[in-house]
Amino acid sequence: MIGLYTKDLKDFRTVTTTFQSAISSAKSHPFSTANVLPGYALCGGGAHVHHTFGVGNFLYSLEPTLTQSDEPTPQTFTARSKDHINPDPSIIDTYAMGIKLYSSI
Q: What is the pLDDT of residue 2?
A: 56
**Interval 36-65 mean pLDDT:** 89
**Interval 44-69 mean pLDDT:** 86
Helix (H/G/I), strand (E/B), else coil: 56: coil
Helix (H/G/I), strand (E/B), else coil: 46: strand
Q: Identify whether 1 is part of a domain.
A: no
| Number of folded domains that form the chain | 1
d(C-alpha 20, C-alpha 61), whole Å: 18
Q: What is the pLDDT of residue 101?
A: 79
Q: Identify whether 2 is part of a domain.
A: no
d(C-alpha 9, C-alpha 102), whole Å: 10
Q: Identify whether 3 is part of a domain.
A: no
Can you give the pTM of this predicted structure? 0.77
Q: Identify whether 6 is part of a domain.
A: no
Q: Identify whether 27 is part of a domain.
A: yes
Q: In terms of residue numbers, what domain contains 38?
A: 11-68+77-103
Q: How far is CA 53 from CA 49, 77, 91, 96, in A?
A: 12, 26, 11, 27
Q: What is the pLDDT of residue 22?
A: 97
Residue 7 has pLDDT above 80, yes or no: no
Residue 20 has pLDDT above 80, yes or no: yes
Q: Identify whether 97 is part of a domain.
A: yes
Q: Identify whether 5 is part of a domain.
A: no
CB atoms within 10 A of CB 34: 24
